[in-house]
Amino acid sequence: MNSVNPLVPQKVTLLEIAAETPEIKTLRVAGEGGAPFDFRPGQCAMLSLPPVGEALFSITSSPDCRDSLEFSIKEAGSVTRALHALSPGQELGLRGPYGNGFPVETLKGKDLLFIGGGIGLAPLRSLINYCLAHRAGYGHIDIVYGARSPADLIRRAEINKRWPAAPDTAVYLTVDAEFPEWSGHVGFVPSYVSELAFTPENRVAVTCGPPIMIKFVLKALEELKFTPDQVITTLEMRMKCGVGKCGRCNLGSKYVCKDGPVFTLAELKTLPAEY
Amino acid sequence: MIKSINKAGLDRLWERLAAAGPLYLPVKEGPAVLFRPWAEGAAAALDVTQATVSPKEIFFPRDETYLKFRREGEKLALAESGTPAGPAIAFGLRSCDLRAVELLDLVFRGQEPADALYGRRRENTMLVALACGQPDPSCFCGAFGINPADAPGADVMAWWDGDVLVMEARTARGEALFAAAGELLQESAAGSKPLAPATAEFGLPLEDLPERLKSRFYDPAWDRLYRGCLACGGCTYFCPTCHCFDVQDYGSQERGERFRCWDSCMFGRFTLMAGGHNPRPTQKERVRNRFLHKLQYFPENFGRFACVGCGRCLRSCPVNLDIVQAIRALGGETVEQR
Amino acid sequence: MAEHHISAAAKIRAAVAQDLLSGRISLLLGWEKGHFQWQSRPLFARDGADLERLAWDSFCAVNLSRYLPEELKENEKVGVLVKGCDSRALNRLVQDRAVPRERVVAYGLPCPGMLDAGRLVEAAGGWPDEIAEANGRVVLKGGGRESEVHRDSLLLDKCRHCLYPDPVACDQLLLAPVGNREAPDRFKAVEEREQLSAGERYAYWEKELQRCLRCYACRQICPACSCRECFVEQEQPRWLGKAYDASETFLFHLIRAYHVAGRCIDCGECERSCPVGIPLQELNRKLIKDLNALYGPYEAGLDPEREPPLLTYAPNDPAAFTEK
């Protein structure tokens, strides 16, 4: 064999599968020696379940967690449906890591504002836990997270207890509408961001969520005078190869799988808005 | 080293060369010409200017299995698989085809991670280029600085001198072909080496085109250009530089295989996400992406146009929507061009 | 191009200009020239300047009706130039409820039959620089050669077997009718194939279909392929695999042939559009021939009031539902 085929997955075992919401489950997988590879927060991997297929997901666990990898997955198509139906012990395929990941080095010393919506918390969580594990390297951390309803919020142990209890960290939760069991903030994420009036000084905003949320979050941040290079987002596209060759995920000459999925708003402004 | 063979002896040459591995030749199938492994009785269509479908399928086949799986209960066995790509010969590629191979190399071998499937075939295949004596009116390789009569990168460069096929070995691999052919080839002088025939150039404004296109993404000219597009995948499949692919599984819960196969950015589902969002929702975005990939994005990434002027889209698009039209519509200085 | 064609294009322009400029239609679907004399591409004319580019010659093969469903999303009323086959395509789309007839103005162009670029090259011994037509003959000049051939010998296959070159059910006929044609050889290839054994037929089609690129040009241009989502694209369940495998390719072409059976207008656009020249119309003609034999003569798209045989319930249906 001349070279290793990058499309061939390695084998991992599903250790744990837990329902986060009616549509989202978190899968924890590991190879024989724990996490099958090192990665940076924000990178992705291709989960593989033959004969259904493969799909790319962001790794939601922190790189510091070396015994396994976690993926929070929303049911949307055939692969995610099949993944949701798995039980612990099941073997599946995995390849990666793919993409650039968040710029953990350039974020050092900055105050961080995380803005997530729904399943969009998954890639942010990897970075949040990384920053909390390397707490001294980063400034104040604010986390604004929302979903359609209280039942749609994921990682509840973290958003309700662990993160608010972490040093110099604040968590702001919101849901789109009134619910009897919800006593917290009601309203869309972008307007909550405006309401909280974060200042741009020495702060970087990192956002991920549904396209429509991202669109209005970017607008809100612009109004709060964040400059385009102070705003970071992570994109999702249909992908097949993960290595910049199959042709699906390009924005102009950049491939989301390879050059992304993390882009600053300044970078995105130079690229076609085909995402 | 230069050798030659009379046209009448070619069938014996094919037989000899094909003994060691697949010998891909342009072969007529119905009205089309495709590169196919030579089989007894097959006639090589060496007189045809252009194969209908580019020879890229020698290195990047329409489909290719690379993984087999078996499942028993919780256990999943994954094993690399696929047809071994032993030594092969691609005979009769044109200069434009060779340039296209160079461009595909940039994608599949020139950037990490290298593509093993492509790489194996490419490394094991000898390239025999055939000079183009008479480009047809759709050929415009000259616009991309390609000489139809000479193909850099070929192991062997061949040209016709009347009924005699003259061959010049340019690499050790090429000389190995001469050795394999043995007494079937005669010692030869270069004879009358063909001059570069002129090709159409269509007056294309290629200079600084990638730079100019940067400001044309939202140009209304795209609205007019795309409308005729049928949204078939023809252009992407016969084009020598298109290389989009899909990965698919086939089989039962217990066993099956994974293969990659050609796919087309002209298809609506190509970028459709499982949740229903499509970042290129209409044919306009798809047509724009395909042409800009060739004319702006690829040059930005690799410093080369991803078009070789082979003219296949000019010949074969069922509604005559081709890259020359795109360059003319978007490449000029004026914003409002018809 | 022949004199009568130049004047014909001018005549067409004049006839449609009023409707386009007055706003009766907001778009006219026609043809314009491509890079070469033997090429035309669809023209989407919105104003007088666009109309200047309108062409009508022996190379306007593309069936424009196919663009109607999409263009009617953006335009209240669309004008379309229709040859005989195109007009039957329009009827077909109307019958399939893919196009509301009242939102289309069909301008009829009786068609002399379109020419095949491949045949021109053969006849001229190379690509011609100049193509001139007069009195049913074509003069081809180029490369120091000149040849004159009978026009009929250069027709596209699809036009050789055309029975109805004059448009049907158009709103306005723009040129003089050319009259119905005879096509005695229409089913010749089908009959030849019928003489083969099942094994030989399979071998024939296996050879023809092995070069299929699965580009779906045949489907995309077909006026009877009006499904919003083709079974090819359906993923749950996935009916058709994407491997280039004889069984998958056969499945696509056979299902398509059966799905358009009784609705295929025999325009031959599938075969003309096929980049690798698969004789697809043989499949469709086989079904046309069989349907004619089973349910009586029927020409799809000819009469918009007459439903296709396989969409009709008739108590006196001549064929039993089950046969031994």
Which CATH number does the domain housing residue A124 bear? 3.40.50.80
Reported as a single tens digit per residue, the pLDDT across A70-105 is 999 999 999 999 999 999 999 999 999 999 999 999
Count Cβ–Cβ pairs < 8 Å, chain B vs chain C: 122
Asked if residues A184 and A173 have their Cβ atoms less than 8 Å apart, the reply is yes
Give the mean pLDDT of chain B.
93
**pLDDT over threshold 90, residue C309:** no
> Domain range for residue A80?
10-98
Assign 3-state DSSP to chain B and report helix, strand, coil percentages, each to 5. 30, 20, 45
Preceding amide of A51 cis, omega within 30:
yes
Token code pair at residue C209: 């279909």
Packing angle between helix C246-259 and helix C198-209, nearest 10 degrees? 100
Instruction: Show which subunits contact B, needing at least 3 CB pairs below 8 angstroms.
Output: A, C
Rounded Cα distance, A195 and A142, in Å: 14
Residue B71, burial from CB neighbour count under 10 angstroms (0-12, 13-18, 19+): buried
User: Same structural domain for residues A94 and A62?
Assistant: yes
Query: Quick check: A50 and B251 CB within 8 A?
Result: yes
- pTM reported for the whole predicted model: 0.94
Asked whether residue A275 is assigned to any structural domain, the reply reads no
Distance in angstroms (rounded) separating the CA atoms of residues A159 and A175 = 13
A55: in domain:
yes
Task: Kindly determine whether residue B115 and residue A93, on different chains, have CB atoms separated by under 8 Å.
Answer: no
Strand partners, B167: B3, B158
Do A88 and A153 fall within a single domain? Answer: no
Q: Per the domain annotation, does A259 fall within a domain?
A: no
| Any B CB within 8 A of A32 CB | no
> Of A98, A132, A158, which residue sits at a domain end?
A98
Is the CB of residue C86 less than 8 Å from the CB of residue C165?
A: no
Smallest CA–CA distance, residue A272 to chain B, in Å, is: 8
Nearest to A146 by CA among A195, A188, A178, A114: A188
Work out the burial of residue C102: count CB atoms within 10 Å of its CB; fewer than 13 is exposed, 13-18 middle, 19 or more buried.
exposed
Q: B324 to chain C: nearest residue by CA?
A: C35
Is the same domain home to A120 and A72? Answer: no
- Segment C69-80 mean pLDDT: 96
- Confidence band, pLDDT 50/70/90 cuts, at residue B215: very high
Q: Tell me which chain B residues have a C-beta less than 8 angstroms from the C-beta of C244.
A: 62-63, 261-262
User: pLDDT-based confidence at B337, cuts 50/70/90?
Assistant: very low
The beta-carbon neighbor of B320 closest among C41, C219, C278 is C41
Chain C adjacent subunits, 3+ CB pairs under 8 A? A, B
Domain assignment present for A145: yes
Rounded distance between C-alpha atoms, residue B99 and residue C277, angstroms: 26
How far is the alpha carbon of C242 from chain B, nearest alpha carbon, in Å? 7
Using CA atoms, how far apart are residues A206 and A214, in angstroms rounded to an integer?
10
Strands laid side by side in the B255-262 sheet: B75-80, B63-72, B255-262, B245-251
**A59, part of any domain:** yes
- The type of residue at C50 is D
State how far residue C304 is from chain B, nearest Cα, in angstroms.
25
Return the beta strands (E) in A203-270 as ranges.
Answer: 203-208, 231-234, 250-251, 254-255, 262-264
Q: Are residues A78 and A160 in the same domain?
A: no
Q: Which helix (H) or strand (E) holds A46?
A: strand A44-49
CB C215 within 8 A of CB C249: no
**pLDDT per residue over A132-157, tens digit each?**
999 999 999 999 999 999 999 999 99
Chain B residue with minimum CA distance to C30? B228
Specify the pairing of strand B23-29 against strand B88-93. Answer: parallel
- Identify the CATH number of the domain in which residue A52 sits: 2.40.30.10
* A247 contacts on B by Cβ (under 8 Å): 243-245, 263, 265, 270, 293
Q: Scanning the structure block, which residue is given the tokens 């976690």?
A: A70
Q: What is the residue extent of each domain of chain C?
A: 3-116+155-173, 117-152, 188-317
How many folded domains does chain A comprise? 2
- What is the model's pLDDT at position A2? 35
Q: Which of residues 66-85 of A touch B (CB under 8 A)?
A: 74, 76-80
Give the DSSP per-residue string, B192-238: SPPP------TT---TTHHHHHTT-TT-THHHHHHTT----SHHHHH
Q: In angstroms, what separates the C-alpha of C187 from chain B's closest C-alpha? A: 19
Q: What is the per-residue pLDDT across A221-254, written as a single tens digit (0 to 9) for each?
A: 999 999 999 999 999 889 999 999 999 999 999 9
Considering the domain boundaries, does residue A268 fall inside one?
no
Boundary (domain end) residue, out of A49, A65, A98: A98
Do A68 and A136 lie in one domain? The reply is no
B222 chain-A contacts, CB cut-off 8 A: none
CB spacing of B232 vs C35 below 8 angstroms: no
Out of C49, C67, C243, name the one closest to residue B63 (CB). Answer: C243
Strand runs (DSSP E) across B208-322, as ranges? Answer: 245-251, 255-262
- Smallest Cβ–Cβ distance between B224 and the set C44, C208, C272 belongs to C44
- Those of residues 186-245 in C touching chain A at CB distance below 8 A are 235-236
Angle between helices B283-292 and B323-331 (to 10 degrees): 90
Query: Which chain C residue's Cα is nearest to A81?
Result: C236
CA–CA gap between residue B324 and residue B326 (Å, rounded): 5
- Asked if A127 and A91 sit in the same domain, the reply is no
B83 in contact with C, Cβ within 8 Å: no
Residues A94 and A115 occupy one common structural domain: no
Q: Which residues contact C275 (CB under 8 A, 6 or more apart)?
A: B32, B52, B53, B234, B237, B238, B316, B318, C213, C215, C217
Q: Give pLDDT, residue C6.
A: 54
Mean pLDDT on B148-169: 94
Q: Strand A69-74 to strand A24-30: parallel, antiparallel, or no bridges (unpaired)?
A: antiparallel
pLDDT in tens, B225-259: 999 999 999 999 999 999 999 999 999 999 999 99
pLDDT number for residue C75 = 97
**A246 assigned to some structural domain:** no
Are residue A84 and residue A156 in the same domain, yes or no? no
| Cβ contacts of B120 on chain A, cutoff 8 Å | 2
C-alpha to C-alpha distance for B16 and C59, rounded to whole angstroms: 45
Handedness of CA C198, C204, C208, C209 (dihedral sign): positive
Number of other residues whose CB lies within 10 A of the CB of residue A198: 20
A260 within some domain: no
